[in-house]
Structure 1
Amino acid sequence: MAIEDAPTDKGKAGARGLHKAARAEERKTEAKKGSDLAKGADRFEERSNSSDGKSAGQKQR
């Protein structure tokens, strides 16, 4: 849900705070890792790898 879609001003403020905190956490993680985190579909694949090393797409085949 986009920030503008929140029904109340309090909801919009909460969404902005969450977005800002997530952005700061991502920057912190990227600095610690030494490289950018994957974005979009690449990020989905990176996160979907389980302990057996197979991605969600490989398991569905």
Structure 2
Amino acid sequence: MGTEQAPTAKGKQSSTGLHKGAAKEEKKTEAQKGSDLRKGADRFDERSKSSDGRSAASKQKPKK
């Protein structure tokens, strides 16, 4: 839920804290990695690859 969509003040505060925490963690990860993390569809593809380097789509069997 977005910060502006939260129905209560406590919800807005919680959402803001979550967003700030996520941004802080992302900056930390980018600093360790030495480059920016991918965004959008590229990020999804990067995260969906397993340890063998194959994406989830390449492992799926085609429908008959």
Please confirm whether the aligned pair reaches a TM-score higher than 0.5, indicating the same fold: yes
Q: Using the alignment, how far apart are the partners of 2:52 and 2:34 within structure 1?
A: 25
Q: Provide TM-score, normalisation by structure 2.
A: 0.85
Could you tell me which residue of structure 1 aligns to residue 51 of structure 2? Answer: 51
For residues 13-52 of structure 1, the aligned pairs below 5 Å read 13-52=13-52
User: Unpaired segments of 5 or more residues in structure 2?
Assistant: none
Rg comparison, structure with higher value: 2
RMSD value, Cα: 1.2
Q: Are 1:12 and 2:12 matched, yes or no?
A: yes
Q: Percent identity?
A: 67
User: Unpaired segments of 5 or more residues in structure 1?
Assistant: none
Name the aligned partner's letter for residue 49 of structure 2: N
Q: Provide TM-score, normalisation by structure 1.
A: 0.88
Give structure 1 regions of 4+ aligned residues with deviation exceeding 2 angstroms.
Answer: none
